A and B are shown apart, each in its own frame.
Chain A
Amino acid sequence: AQKVTQAQTEISVVEKEDVTLDCVYETRDTTYYLFWYKQPPSGELVFLIRRNSFDEQNEISGRYSWNFQKSTSSFNFTITASQVVDSAVYFCALSGYSGNTPLVFGKGTRLSVIA
């Protein structure tokens, strides 16, 4: 069975600090996809990134970066120089091969960035 663990329930940082959100996953599939979604206070779910299991290169998008390590089954998300607008709940998710298994989500990490 697939499982995603986000051990950090809530994180609070001061604006401009860097923050890393942890995600650890379990799967027996050799091919799978990992995702991060953001849920701002308004409630909608915003797609941030998709990464397939064959691509272990880190990815950077502006202040956001993702570190995928197959050896530790982790897909961590770092926000550099955090801003108040980054305050949200962040979900990590996992899908199986060919998308035939619905996404399994972690319980989410609530990030509060204080001005």
Chain B
Amino acid sequence: DADVTQTPRNRITKTGKRIMLECSQTKGHDRMYWYRQDPGLGLRLIYYSFDVKDINKGEISDGYSVSRQAQAKFSLSLESAIPNQTALYFCATSDLGAATGELFFGEGSRLTVL
């Protein structure tokens, strides 16, 4: 099983619907992240959390919210999805004890908003 698991892997939804992408990890890492990937734009940070009580906005947080339910779980919500939120979303973790900031990624969740 993957160390960082994202569900769903693929989702098609309609404009205005609420969507939640879930991420769980078994690596025991304190830090979790949500990135968004669009063709030609690379990976952009949406939100990150350094521990259960810590939530920080990233570069492109508008239109998104997150919840850190436990050390191992970090969910991303789109309250009212719009077509330009169609993208590939990645959850990632990193180890507090590692100074490098190296990320360990989930397999990605492809979201299409019609």
Contacting pair A107 B90 (CB below 8 A)? no
Tell me whether A64 is interfacial, beta carbon within 8 Å.
no
Tell me the complex Cα distance, A105–B102, Å. 12
Given A43-B108, A44-B107, A44-B108, A95 contacting B42 (CB threshold 8 A): no
Contacting pair A52 B42 (CB below 8 A)? no
> Count the A-B residue pairs with Cβ separation under 8 angstroms: how many?
63
Count residues of chain A with CB under 8 A from any CB of chain B.
26
Contacting pair B103 A103 (CB below 8 A)? yes
- What 0/1 readout, one digit per residue, does chain A (21-63) give for beta carbons within 8 Å of chain B? 0000000000001010000000111010010100000000000
Q: Which residue of B lies closest to A45 (CB)?
A: B105
Say how far A37's CB is from chain B's closest CB, in angstroms: 8
Contacting pair A107 B42 (CB below 8 A)? yes
In the complex, which residues of chain B have a beta carbon less than 8 angstroms from the beta carbon of A43? Answer: 88, 107-108, 110
Tell me the complex Cα distance, A91–B44, Å. 12
Contacting pair B105 A95 (CB below 8 A)? no
Most buried by A among B44, B98, B102, B110: B102
Which listed residue, A33, A35, A102, A106, touches B58 by the CB 8 Å rule? A102
Contacting pair B107 A98 (CB below 8 A)? no
Instruction: Please list 13 pairs of residues, one from A and one from B, whose beta carbons are closer than 8 Å in the complex, sorted by A's number.
Output: A6-B42, A44-B107, A44-B108, A45-B108, A97-B99, A99-B31, A99-B98, A102-B58, A103-B45, A104-B45, A107-B40, A107-B42, A108-B42
Interface, chain B (partner A; CB < 8 A):
31, 33, 35, 40-45, 48, 50, 58, 88, 90, 94-96, 98-105, 107-108, 110
A-B contact sample (5 more), CB < 8 A, given A35-B102, A96-B101: A33-B99, A43-B110, A52-B100, A99-B96, A102-B58
Interface, chain A (partner B; CB < 8 A):
6, 9, 33, 35, 43-45, 47, 50, 52, 91, 93, 95-108
